[in-house]
Structure formats: structure tokens, C-alpha cells
Amino acid sequence: MKKSTLLPLLMIAMAACNHRSNSLANDNSNNTGHSATQLTGTYQGTLPCADCPGMDYQVSLYDDHTFSELVAYQGRGQDIATVASGTWQQTSDSTVMLKKKTDSSSFLASEGKLLLLDPNGKRIEGVLASNFELKAIAVGDRRPMLAEKAKAGIRFTANGNQPGWRLDLDHKMIYFHATNGDSLQVALPAPQPNTDTLKVYTTPDITISIRNIMCSDDISGLMRPNTVQVQVKDKNYQGCGEYIGQ
């Protein structure tokens, strides 16, 4: 899996764009406090990809100026999701720069969206402009919840809907509960198979399959790095999950 790098795909996609130089300074010349636009939140969309149908992309901007990023390339590498983090900086009233160890990228906040800017910090124009938009979704900061689970020794967590269910794994136990009444706590076996992309935990009471494939919650829309299937007796549960502390 290639590293998530937004700037190279911009350089390729912009060759087909009829972009013009729109100075962000003109848009914000009367704002000096860098506070008029709310930037924190979670944004997602499908960005152009040079050698695949598209790049599913999600970024969460936190109020401590850190961010988390999830990327999955469609039709390449079995849609394996990668997660990264870094810091963000507000560079003008409505623009933000994301900084990672290997690269950086800039966005313009506009009407509840983030618009990916070109390497010169300019807004992309033309027929492909809408391909660089990320839309906000209504989810809060999940870090306190994940921190509580980590404190309790949980190393993987998942949940799903219809019916609602949740799953937690620590180093020794499986904890599963569903709103339809299915609930159990059993010892955690060794996974078999156990690969980088698939782990299956099997007991007489429950079978859990964890795939390293991007999963989108069917209610909130939140993207998470793992697709999870749980079988309890004759019932199957589908949902999304993530490892904690990785």
C-alpha cells in the first residue's frame, strides 16, 4: 500500500482541470483573527486517484490541533485502509494546513465542506473542482471513549446496527452484547487464520472475522479501518471496528 499523499494526485488531476489563480487572501482580507469559520469536525469524500477509480478519504480535525486521517484506494490492494495522524494549523480565517511527517496539504473551509487546495494554496476550478470536496458528517470526538476503553485494557472495539451490537476484545476475553438479547463473555482464542488482512477468532459460542478493509457505518457514515462480521449461533452481525493504540 502506498502512503497517503495528496499533493502528487493533485499535480496529476490538475492537468485536466481548467484552474485559475484565486487568491485566498482576497476572500479573507478583512479577517485577521482566524476565528470566523469553525474548522473542527470530521469530513469525508472520494478524491481523485492517479491509478485507481478513487481514494476514499476521511479526516477528523480536533480542537487540540491534531488530526486523524483514514485512506482507502478503491479497487487496489483489496481496499485496505490505512490510518495516519498529524497536526493542523489554521493559516487564514477559513483555511487549514494538515502536516504529517512526509507531506502536507491545505484545505479551504466553505459551507460545511473542506475543499482541497492545489500545491500553491489556490482553489481548484473547472469541471473537476467538485471532485476535491470533503463533506462534514455529524460525529463527535471519539477519542475520550477510545481512551476509556484503552484504560480498561481493550485493544479492539467494534459495533453495528439493526440490531445494535458492540464488541470489545482485550488480551484474554471477548465481550459481546446485542440489543436483541445476545450477550456473552468468553475466553479469546488465538486467531486462525491470522494474517495482516484477516483475523478469525472461533469459539463454540461465537465466531469473529476482522478484515483490514475500510468500513462505513450505515447510520452515521463514519469510516473506520476494519470490517467486522460476528456470528452468534444462527445470527450474523455486520459492522465496523478499529484497533486501539495502534
Q: How far apart are CA 53 and CA 74, in angstroms?
A: 6
Mean pLDDT over all residues of the chain?
85
CB-based burial of residue 36 (10 Å sphere; 0-12 exposed, 13-18 middle, 19+ buried)?
exposed
- Res 75: pLDDT: 81
Higher pLDDT, 36 or 74: 74
Contact partners, residue 169, CB within 8 Å, separation at least 6: 154, 155, 156, 157, 175, 188, 201, 208
Ranking 53-57, 126-130, 236-240 by mean pLDDT, the lowest is: 126-130
Amino acid identity of residue 179, one-letter, is: T
- Res 87: pLDDT: 97
Confirm if 176 and 166 have CB atoms less than 8 A apart.
Answer: yes
Higher pLDDT, 186 or 5: 186
Residue range 202-219, pLDDT digits in tens: 999 999 999 999 999 999
Residue range 77-88, pLDDT digits in tens: 667 889 999 999
Could you tell me where the DSSP H helices lie in 36-178?
143-151
Percent of the chain surpassing pLDDT 90: 65
pLDDT at 238 over 50: yes
**CA distances (Å), origin 74, targets 33, 47, 151:** 40, 10, 35
